[in-house]
Structures are given as structure tokens and as C-alpha cells.
């Protein structure tokens, strides 16, 4: 595919790679593209809240202002529901999954979607990049029946597609349907995403580590050992650098381009970790593997974990292969789990 082709063209051209394709996945990706542009428009206005009115207030046009994460959730929900593309959605913003019927009252659609509509939203007030994360599976309940929780609790390796939108200095949509990872940059003047980063890959070795080091004393011993290992390497003259935005999508995006590792481990304060398996870790792990990187919970591959709850949390180690392998090796010295 030529660089500078549009996302719309790319989606259509790739449809033919899936034998027996019904076009549903293409329609789904197109709906995400549309919702992303609407959310992008609103995120870009966030700095004007003092002028236009903050969440919970009524703005000067008399419109009620919503918190941006709620707004993003509503936009993605509405765009996908009204177009009758998916048969169910689970969102980090909703307590339970939502069953979606077609206008004929049937439950005939093939795919379910899971999403974190606005990840890292605490960064909005300070004008730092945030993101949307999405993940797509084929339903396992028979067509025609309403989807059940089991459809959403599939292992990450069953994902058909996953991606994110990063609302940054440029807005980018990055996704994979299992044939590599491709990045598209939005030209805001005309509202079109162009293929700017075909076949994205994590460099095998990296020198960036992204972790909230303030929690050091609460980390498992394997993670402390990894940080000490990095310090020793620096002493020996190797270059490592710490970069932590506190916005998973942005940290992941930078590490994929430059080479690095993102770690959100368990801690004595949060023994299960912070990030959500279904909405954050599985899609990012799918992208990481498609981009020649790795993602584990410190011991096992994220994509092999059998989910048991919708909002399940897991520790997350994700990025360049050599770095994720190294920390895994050090974690392996404590096979019974955390030794804080
Ligand atoms: P959120 O889903 O509530 O936004 O939390 C997820 C975010 C990630 O984007 C980010 O990497 C992490 O939380 C930062 O957490 P912390 O502030 O504990 O370092
Ligand atoms: Mg989140």
C-alpha cells in the first residue's frame, strides 16, 4: 500500500485479505474512524473549558458540558450502536456490557467491541496527550442470540483487530487486523487520516523505560531488581532514559517508535496492578506482538490469560523484546509471585 493513502482506502484494500469477508469489519473500522474524529474535535477544545464552560456546567451556547471521558464513551457507543455494526460493546466507562440488536430486532452482527474511550483522562487538564483504545472479537454465541458475558471473556489471542487513537501533537489512529501495525495521521484541516507509519515495529532493543518510579518501595522484588539492573548498566556507560507520561497510549506509542518498555506492575498497594486486561492490556499486547514486541504480566503472555471478569486488572510489561524478556527473567527469580 502506498504511503499517503487514506485510512478509508486502506480499509477497503485490506478487506480482500480476509476470505469470505462480509465487509462488517471494514464498516466497524470506518465507524471507529468517524467517532475518533468527533472525539478529537472535542478533546482539542479542552483548553477552552474556562471560556466554554466546564463539565457539569452549561456553556455559553446553552449546551450541557460533559466530562470528556463520558463524552467519548457516548460518541463511540452511539456511533457503533446506530450503525448496527456490532452485537455488543463493553467499555471501561460502563459497569456491564451492552447488547446491541439490529433495527429488525435480531442479533445478527458478527463482532463485539471492547474499549477504553478516553484513557489517561487525568492528563486533559494539563494539555497532555490522551487516547482511545479498542479491541474487536468475533462473537462465540450463535448468530441470532443476544451476546453473553462469555463473548467478552475471550483470551486476547482471539482478537480480530485492535488499535488506539492518540490525541497528541498530531492525532493518529494506529491499528492492526493481524497483518502488522499501521499508523494514520489526521489532517485536521480536511478531516482525513493518511497512512503515515506503515508496518510499525518496536526496535528489538530499546533504552527507554516507562514506569511510575514513585511507587518503587511498593514494587515486587523482580521489578526492583530490573530497575537496579538498568542503573548498573548506566553506571557502566550504557544509555537508558526514563520517560513516563502517565498516559498508556502515548507511552506505548513513543516506545514503539523509539524502543522501550512500559511497566505497570503489581504493588503492595494494588496487588492486582492497575490496568484493565480487557480494555487496555489485551489490545496493547495484540499491537505489541504484531509490531514485533512482547507483552506479559511479568510471568506469562498477556494474550494467553483467560479473563474471568470484565473489569479485571493485571500487571503489564510491554515493549521491545529484549527488555520485556530481561525483566521476565528477573521476575522469574520469584516464581511464587510478588516478594515486596
Ligand atoms: P485510567 O484508565 O483511569 O485513565 O488509568 C490508566 C492510566 C494509564 O494511561 C497510565 O499509564 C496509568 O493510568 C498511570 O497511572 P499512575 O498515575 O498510577 O502512574
Ligand atoms: Mg484507562
Ligand nearest the Cα atom of residue 129:
1
Instruction: Check if 121 has its Cβ closer than 6 Å to any atom of ligand 1.
Output: yes
CA of 246 to the centre of ligand 1 (A): 6
Query: How far, in Å, from the CA of 209 to the mean position of ligand 2?
Result: 20
Strand runs labelled E in the chain: 86-91, 98-99, 111-119, 130-138, 161-167, 171-176, 182-187, 192-197, 208-210, 241-242, 260-264, 294-296, 316-319
Tell whether ligand 1 has an atom less than 6 A from the beta carbon of residue 248: yes
**CATH number of the domain at 7-199, out of 3.40.50.300, 3.40.190.10, 3.30.540.10, 3.30.300.180?**
3.30.540.10
Q: How close is the Cα of 159 to the center of ligand 2, in Å? A: 19
Whole-number mean pLDDT of the chain? 91
Question: In which residue are the cell numbers 529484549 written?
Answer: 322
Query: Which ligand 1 atom is at minimum distance from the Cα of 118?
Result: 4
Question: What residue ranges of the chain are covered by domains with CATH 3.40.190.80?
Answer: 208-331
Section 39-67 average pLDDT = 68
Which pLDDT value is given to residue 4?
73
| Closest residue by Cα to residue 248 from 258, 259, 261, 239 | 261
Q: Does the pLDDT value for residue 116 go beyond 70? A: yes
For ligand 1, atom 16, the nearest C-alpha belongs to: 246
Look up residue 56 and give its three cell numbers. Answer: 457539569
Q: Determine how many CB atoms are found less than 10 A away from the CB of residue 124.
A: 20
Confidence of residue 96 (pLDDT cuts 50, 70, 90): very high
Task: Measure 285 CA to ligand 2 centroid, in angstroms.
Answer: 15
For the chain, percent of residues with pLDDT exceeding 90: 77
Confirm or reject: Cβ of 246 under 6 Å from ligand 1: yes
Which residue CA neighbors atom 5 of ligand 1 most closely?
120
- Averaged pLDDT for residues 276-291: 98
pLDDT given for residue 45 in this prediction = 83
What does the pLDDT read at residue 20?
Answer: 62
Ligand number, closest to the Cα atom of 122: 1
Ligand closest to 247 (CA) is 1
The residues, any chain, with a CB within 8 Å of residue 231's CB and separated by 6 or more, are: none
**CB 212 less than 6 A from any atom of ligand 1:** yes
pLDDT of 126 over the 80 cut: yes
Residue 53 pLDDT > 90: no
- Cα–ligand 2 centroid distance for 58 (angstroms): 27
Residue 111, pLDDT above cutoff 80: yes
Topology given in CATH for the domain delimited by 208-331:
D-Maltodextrin-Binding Protein; domain 2 (3.40.190)
In this prediction the pTM is 0.94
Mean pLDDT of all residues in 283-309: 98
13 — pLDDT class (breaks 50, 70, 90): confident
Nearest ligand, measured from the Cα of 246? 1
pLDDT tens for 144-185 read: 899 999 999 999 999 999 999 999 889 999 999 999 999 999
For residue 245, give the ligand 1 atom closest to its CA.
11
- The verdict on the CB of residue 213 being under 6 Å from ligand 1 is no
Stretch(es) of the chain classified as CATH 3.30.540.10: 7-199
The arithmetic mean of pLDDT across residues 89-118, rounded, is 91
Index of the ligand 1 atom closest to the CA of residue 275: 6
What atom in ligand 1 is closest to the CA of residue 249? 9
Tell me what the mean pLDDT of segment 245-262 comes to: 98
Q: Give the other-Cβ count within 10 Å of 22's Cβ.
A: 11
Task: Assess whether pLDDT exceeds 70 at residue 54.
Answer: no
120 lines ligand 1 (CB under 6 A): yes
Cell numbers 526514563 correspond to 242
If pLDDT is split at 50, 70 and 90, which confidence band does 131 have? very high
39 lines ligand 1 (CB under 6 A): no
Residue of 274, 279, 313, 319 to mutate, ligand 1, most atoms within 8 A of C-beta: 274
Alpha helices in the chain (DSSP H): 7-15, 24-44, 49-52, 68-82, 149-152, 221-235, 248-258, 282-290, 321-331
Amino acid at each position: 500500500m502506498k504511503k499517503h493513502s487514506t485510512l478509508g482506502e486502506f480499509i477497503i484494500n485490506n478487506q480482500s485479505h480476509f476470505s469470505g469477508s462480509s465487509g462488517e469489519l471494514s464498516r466497524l473500522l470506518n465507524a471507529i474512524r468517524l467517532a475518533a474524529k468527533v472525539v478529537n474535535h472535542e478533546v482539542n477544545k479542552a483548553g477552552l473549558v474556562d471560556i466554554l464552560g466546564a463539565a457539569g456546567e452549561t456553556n455559553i451556547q446553552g449546551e450541557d458540558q460533559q466530562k470528556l471521558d463520558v463524552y467519548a464513551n457516548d460518541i463511540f457507543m452511539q456511533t457503533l450502536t446506530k450503525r448496527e455494526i456490532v452485537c455488543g460493546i463493553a467499555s471501561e466507562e460502563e459497569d456491564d456490557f451492552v447488547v446491541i440488536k439490529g433495527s429488525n430486532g435480531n442479533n445478527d452482527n458478527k463482532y463485539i467491541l471492547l474499549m477504553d474511550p478516553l484513557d489517561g483522562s487525568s492528563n486533559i487538564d494539563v494539555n497532555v496527550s490522551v487516547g482511545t483504545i479498542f479491541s474487536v472479537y468475533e462473537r462465540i454465541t450463535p448468530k441470532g442470540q443476544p451476546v453473553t458475558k462469555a463473548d467478552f471473556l475471550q483470551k486476547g489471542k482471539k482478537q480480530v483487530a485492535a488499535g488506539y487513537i492518540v490525541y497528541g501533537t498530531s492525532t493518529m489512529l494506529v491499528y492492526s487486523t493481524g497483518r502488522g501495525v499501521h499508523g494514520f495521521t489526521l489532517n485536521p484541516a480536511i478531516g482525513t487520516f493518511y497512512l503515515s507509519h506503515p508496518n510499525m515495529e518496536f526496535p528489538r532493543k530499546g533504552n527507554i523505560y516507562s514506569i511510575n518510579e514513585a511507587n518503587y518501595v511498593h514494587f515486587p522484588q523482580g521489578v526492583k531488581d530490573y530497575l537496579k539492573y538498568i542503573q548498573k548498566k548506566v553506571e557502566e556507560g550504557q544509555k537508558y532514559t526514563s520517560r513516563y507520561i502517565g498516559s498508556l497510549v502515548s507511552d506505548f506509542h513513543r516506545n514503539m517508535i523509539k524502543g522501550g518498555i512500559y511497566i505497570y506492575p503489581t504493588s503492595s498497594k494494588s496487588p492486582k496492578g492497575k490496568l484493565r486486561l480487557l480494555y487496555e492490556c489485551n489490545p496493547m499486547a495484540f499491537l505489541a506482538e504484531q509490531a514485533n514486541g512482547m507483552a506479559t504480566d511479568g510471568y506469562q503472555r498477556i494474550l494467553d490469560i483467560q479473563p474471568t471478569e470484565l473489569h479485571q486488572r493485571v500487571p503489564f510489561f510491554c515493549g521491545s523484546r529484549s527488555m520485556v524478556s530481561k525483566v521476565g527473567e528477573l521476575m522469574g527469580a520469584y516464581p511464587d509471585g510478588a516478594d515486596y
